[in-house]
Every structure is written in C-alpha cells, then in structure tokens.
Amino acid sequence: MSIYLLPNSVIDDIEKMINMFWWGGMSNNRRIKWMAWERVSCPKEFGGMRFRNFKAFNLAMVAKQAWSFLSKLKS
C-alpha cells in the first residue's frame, strides 16, 4: 500500500471488510450499520470514530515514496 496506488475497488473491499468486522455483519447476514463510513472515518472532534480513510492514506504513502525518490538523488 505504500508503494503502489491501489485501485478504488480494492480499497472499497478493504473498507467493507473492516465495516463487517466492526458491525458484525457477514455477506449473508444483514446487520444494522449505525454510522456511515464517511462519518466513521472522520476525526473524533467532528463526531467520528477516527478510522483511517484508506484512499487518502494510500495517496499519502505513494506521495511519501515519490518525495523520497525526488529528495534523495542517490536512491
């Protein structure tokens, strides 16, 4: 995740797995989801649960690698 820009479908699948873990649902077992994922991933100060936004995190990790390559010319 820190080297490659992941497709949105992979990131959505990761978020669905985390969502199923926290809310106790399986693919065949529908449970109540008390908060939308956008609200869960926002900071606690704004009413969220501070889960990581994987799209932004993936982009930040790729940008960090790009900055490392640009700033360290011998790498």
Per-residue confidence (pLDDT) for residue 27, from 0 to 100: 58
Contact 26, 19 (CB under 8 A): no
User: Does residue 60 sit within a domain?
Assistant: yes
Per-residue confidence (pLDDT) for residue 30, from 0 to 100: 65
Radius of gyration of the chain (CA): 16
Could you give the number of structural domains in the chain? 1
- Please, is 53 exposed, middle or buried when counting C-beta atoms within 10 Å of its C-beta (0-12, 13-18, 19+)? middle
Q: How many CB atoms lie within 10 A of CB 58?
A: 21
pTM exceeding 0.75? no
User: Does residue 27 sit within a domain?
Assistant: no
| Domain interval for residue 71 | 1-21+34-75
Distance CA 54, CA 29 (A): 25
**pLDDT per position in the chain (75 positions), as tens?**
788 999 999 998 988 888 778 777 665 666 666 777 777 778 888 877 778 888 889 999 999 999 988 898 776
Tokens of 26: 């399986």
Per-residue confidence (pLDDT) for residue 75, from 0 to 100: 67
